[in-house]
Amino acid sequence: MKFKSLLTLILLLLVAVAPGAAQSAPDFARIWDDNHISRIDPSQVRHGDLNKYIDELRGTGVKVSDVGRSVAGREIRQLEFGRGPFKVLLWSQMHGDEPTATSALIDLFAYLQRNRSEAWVKSIEENLTLRAVPMLNPDGAEYFQRRNLQGIDINRDARLLATPEGRLLKRLRDEWQPRLGFNLHNQNPRTAVGESGKQATISLLAVAYDPFRNDNEMRVLGKKVCAVIHSALSPYIYGQIGRYDDSFNPRAFGDLISQWGTQVILIETGGWHRRAEMDLVRLNFIALAASLLSLADGSAERANPGVYDALPFNEGGRIYDLIVRGGTLISRNPAPNFPVIAPFSGDLGINIDRGRIEPSRRVRAQIQEVGDMSGFTGLETIDATGYHIAVGAGTIRPGIEAVLLFYRSNRAAAIDWNAPDLETKYPPDAVYRNGEWTGSKPGS
């Protein structure tokens, strides 16, 4: 008993004398779980919703400034926190359909402002000044499109400056001259980490400031911050952190801002199979909180930039939403003058178009590849050995909608594949349509 209370006392003392600012990724995760103010899925957040979040922030004392307007006249706002010498500019959603970080920035500023007595927040407040522009492209966000309303990719407008949004970003950087910038994006959820076939849930880039990808002190610091992010996120997405293509793009903001003297860190949020959008916001929150604290308390300087250099590069085209392996593929209703194609054995690679999914707009699944799909990874993989597979109508080929009718092969001889009402006349054992399964899925 005595021993136990002595232990408790020692533990209490340890907690009391521990450096107050030390927070780990699980702490940030818990903080987000208990405190996040973003409530709707990021892909549903339009400018009006963002304004409500920002009003909430303003109510807690976050400094908010109207800094510019989009092509359609939507206000673009900047948040500010801290009074330290090290200046960090963060911007999100310059591509309108890349929304995750916007919600994370809102949650981050809400927490920082309300919890200024916590040691780690105080460390950020005293050592850094943060400015953030959530949703740089509010028009794109409204229509859930990459480009602005002029049809211009703002991230390719750093030189021409034909967009009001691009001119704004340049002005905010030039007038303030921050040391570091965080350029926050989403990438294709089918991006893989190198040859691993694993989804690149987060990809990082310490942006090069010249075509030769040289290092200078600030780029090395950028790499160290990426190493901090890697260690913060690995407990959640081990093996799912990639390195973004680091070739220099002379039209892109990240690259030119780095050249102008503000080292940019690019964070690209990809997909996380079977996880909710909000789980990605949580990862972004952890990444940003860990990065900023490491800059504030100096621990970033001790991180190993080699961790970043060793990350595998992103690879596109290796992951499909669905791979159906080993079925017998049936082409139906040949058009006049089109040869009849005999059934053949082959795999199918299918991708799903995921926009901002609204009731009026159904999911569209498309056949992307026919033939040998070995070496590719499916987020879902079906072994269709022992099945005949017909499409809704026509020949099986890339580019058509993936309406797939699965029949056990022992039924095949009795089926008239060219029957116009195939699906009702010969009910399939399973159907894949609009990205959903009905019936008994092969292999289940």
Which range in 2-10, 95-103, 203-211, 356-364 contacts Zn ion by CB under 5 A?
Answer: 95-103
- Nearer CB in complex with Zn ion: 95/388: 95
CB of 95 to Zn ion, least distance (A): 4
- Nearer CB in complex with Zn ion: 185/219: 185
- Nearer CB in complex with Zn ion: 36/185: 185
CB of 337 to Zn ion, least distance (A): 45
CB of 183 to Zn ion, least distance (A): 8
Secondary structure of residue 170 in the 3-state scheme: helix
Binding to Zn ion in span 191-210, by CB under 5 A: none
Contacts of 11 (CB under 8 A, 6+ apart): none
Closest by CA to 365, choosing from 402, 411, 337, is 402
CB of 246 to Zn ion, least distance (A): 16
User: Rule CB under 5 A: is residue 356 a binding residue for Zn ion?
Assistant: no
- Nearer CB in complex with Zn ion: 155/199: 155
User: Rule CB under 5 A: is residue 95 a binding residue for Zn ion?
Assistant: yes
- Nearer CB in complex with Zn ion: 140/378: 140
Question: At which residue do the structure tokens 């909000």 appear?
Answer: 278
- Nearer CB in complex with Zn ion: 268/315: 268
Report which residue type is found at 443. Answer: G
Binding mask 163-192 for Zn ion (x = CB under 5 A): ----------------------x-------
Closest by CA to 307, choosing from 242, 359, 259, 358, is 242
Quote the CA–CA distance of 125 and 113 in Å, as a whole number.
Answer: 9
Which range in 63-71, 92-100, 191-199, 307-315 contacts Zn ion by CB under 5 A?
Answer: 92-100
Quote the CA–CA distance of 354 and 99 in Å, as a whole number.
Answer: 13
User: Rule CB under 5 A: is residue 97 a binding residue for Zn ion?
Assistant: no
Quote the CA–CA distance of 42 and 277 in Å, as a whole number.
Answer: 7
Cα→Cα distances 45→63, 64, 84, 97, 257, Å: 22, 19, 31, 10, 27
CB of 4 to Zn ion, least distance (A): 55
- Nearer CB in complex with Zn ion: 121/135: 135
> How many residues bind to Zn ion according to rule CB under 5 A?
3
Binding to Zn ion in span 226-245, by CB under 5 A: none
Which range in 36-44, 65-73, 97-105, 311-319 contacts Zn ion by CB under 5 A?
Answer: 97-105
Closest by CA to 289, choosing from 40, 112, 79, 58, is 112
Cα→Cα distances 254→37, 188, 218, 228, 263, Å: 29, 19, 14, 20, 8
- DSSP element (H, E) containing 287: helix 277-296
Give the one residue of 49, 98, 139, 321 binding Zn ion; rule: CB under 5 A. 98
- Nearer CB in complex with Zn ion: 95/318: 95
CB of 153 to Zn ion, least distance (A): 9
- Nearer CB in complex with Zn ion: 77/185: 185
Cα→Cα distances 307→72, 233, 263, 380, 441, Å: 43, 13, 18, 31, 42
CB neighbour burial string for 278-307, b if at least 16 within 10 angstroms, e if fewer: bebbbbbbbbbbbbbbbbbbeebeebebeb
Binding site for Zn ion (CB under 5 A): 95, 98, 185
